[in-house]
Amino acid sequence: MYTDATFQKLKSISELIVLNMEPKNSSNIVWRYAALERGVRVLIESQCRPVCSNCLSSCCCRADICKETFNSTLLKKLHGEKESSHQFSDRYGWLTERGCGLALGRPPVCYEFFCEDVLARQPSNTHRYVLKTLGQLISHSGENALGEKHLIDIRSDEELETVDIEHICEQINEARSALEHIQYFYENGELEHDGLEQLSKIRLPTAPLRN
C-alpha cells in the first residue's frame, strides 16, 4: 500500500528516477499514477476542507461506487486493502468521520464530484474552472488504456500488462503538467502564461456527475 509516509521517504526516487523512466511496463504506470493521485488528493482536500469539515451529510460518497475499489486491478494495487477490511462499511463505503479512509486507490469519480457548497465557495469562475479541471486529472490519465477501456476498468494483472503504456504515460504527463499549473494558480492567484493552454487539454464533463 502506497502511504503518504512511503512517498515522503521515496520522494527522490519517485520524482527523479521512476517518473522519468522510459515507459516499459505496468509497474511504471502504477508509480506514475500513484504520484499523480497523491498530488491531486492533497490539493483537492486543501480546497474542500473548509466545507467538508463542517458537512453533516455523505453526499460525496456512495458504497456502490466505493466497491469499485475491489474490482479494479490498479486500485487494489494502490490501496492494498481487502474486501473484508474493517474500515469498509456496507452503508458508507470508505467514508469515515475524517473523510475518505483511502489515501490512494480511490475511484476517479471521487475526485470529479464537487457539491454545490464547494463550488459556490469558489471566488470566481476561473477558480471553479480550475477546481473542476483538477478533479478531472485522474480520470484523464487513464482514458483509453485498452481500446476504449479506462485504466481502472482493467480486471487482471495479465490485462494490465497489455495496456497502451506509452499512451497512458503521455496522459499522466499531461495531467501532471496541468497539476503543476493548478498548484501555481492556488499559490499565486493567477495562471502562468501557458496555463490555460495546458488546462484545456483536460476535457471536462458536459453534464453533472451525480447528485
Q: What is the pLDDT of residues 97-147, one digit of tens each?
A: 777 888 899 999 999 999 898 999 999 999 999 999 999 999 999 999 999
Q: What pLDDT is recorded for position 123?
A: 94
Q: Which is more confident, 17 or 109?
A: 109
Report CA torsion sign: 29, 34, 39, 44.
Answer: positive
| Residue 9: partners with Cβ closer than 8 Å, 6 or more residues away | none
State the chain's mean pLDDT as an integer. Answer: 83
Residue 96 phi, psi dihedral angles, 5° rounding: -125, 180
pLDDT at 10 over 60: no
Q: Which three cell numbers stand for residue 67?
A: 466497491
CA separation for the pair 76, 185 (Å, rounded):
32
Q: Which three cell numbers stand for residue 97?
A: 468521520
pLDDT at 202 over 60: yes
pLDDT at 67 over 50: yes
Q: Which is more confident, 87 or 112?
A: 112
pLDDT at 29 over 70: yes
Angle ∠(199,204,208) on CA atoms, nearest 5: 150
Q: What pLDDT is recorded for position 153?
A: 96
Q: What pLDDT is recorded for position 176?
A: 96
Interval 80-107 mean pLDDT: 80
pLDDT at 17 over 50: no
Interval 88-103 mean pLDDT: 80
Exposure letters 134-170 (e unless 16+ CB within 10 A, then b):
bbbbbbbbbeebbeeebbbbbeeeeebeebebeebbe
| Residue 95: partners with Cβ closer than 8 Å, 6 or more residues away | 58, 60, 61, 66, 89, 101
pLDDT at 44 over 60: yes
